[in-house]
Structure 1
Amino acid sequence: MKKVISIEGMSCKHCAMRVENSLKALDEDAKVKVNLKKNEAVFSSKNGIKDEQIKNAIEEVGYQVISIE
């Protein structure tokens, strides 16, 4: 499962790292790549992580999820 997540509120590398760590906490085997310039993250996991779990993880560290595709 590959998800592209649009995120609002990231402004620096530290922000991107917080988002990356929050997503890796959902599935330590997942591949996560955060693109600060595009304000998005790509989350790839073989486990059944739900969109709501992704949204909650990102919002818990202080950023807003705009969309998950």
Structure 2
Amino acid sequence: MIIEKVFRIEGMTCAACVRAVERGIRKIDGIDEVSVNLATEKMIVKYDEDKLSQGKIIDTIVKLGYKAVLKDELKEVIIPIQGMT
């Protein structure tokens, strides 16, 4: 079954980084579609979960020299700031 996951990719600095990540992920058997956005540091991947695990995707990103975190694992922190006018 094809599923979609969103990852945060850290360490990309230019369009060449984006191309390297997309190219590296597309080489994995089971990948249906991949899209990387440099400005938001997000990668959206559609893949066959019967052929591929998200761990393999993260391992590939690490081997390419970047850090990947599944969006579900990210935490949001809200810090209220007072006294600004």
The TM-score, its normalising length taken from structure 2, stands at 0.72
Map Cα deviations across residues 26-48 of structure 1 (whole Å, 9 max, x no partner): 13751111011110110112353
| Distance change (3 Å), C-alpha of 1:21 and 1:28 | farther
Residue correspondence of structure 1 range 1-69 to structure 2 within 5 A: 1-27=3-29, 30-48=32-50, 49-69=52-72
**Which of structures 1 and 2 has the larger relative contact order (alpha carbons within 8 angstroms, sep 6+)?**
1
State the Cα RMSD in Å.
1.6
Superposition misfits of 4+ residues, deviation over 3 angstroms: none
Cα pair 1:6 1:40 within 8 Å, conserved: yes
Aligned mates of 2:12, 2:43 — CA distance in 1: 11
User: 5+ unaligned residues in a row in structure 2: which ranges?
Assistant: 73-85
Distance 1:15 1:8 in 2: 11
Residue identity in the other structure for 1:58: I
In structure 1, the residue matched to 2:79 is none
Segments of 5+ residues of structure 1 without an aligned counterpart are: none
| Paired residues, number | 69
Which structure has the larger Rg over C-alpha atoms? 2
TM-score w.r.t. the length of structure 1 is 0.87
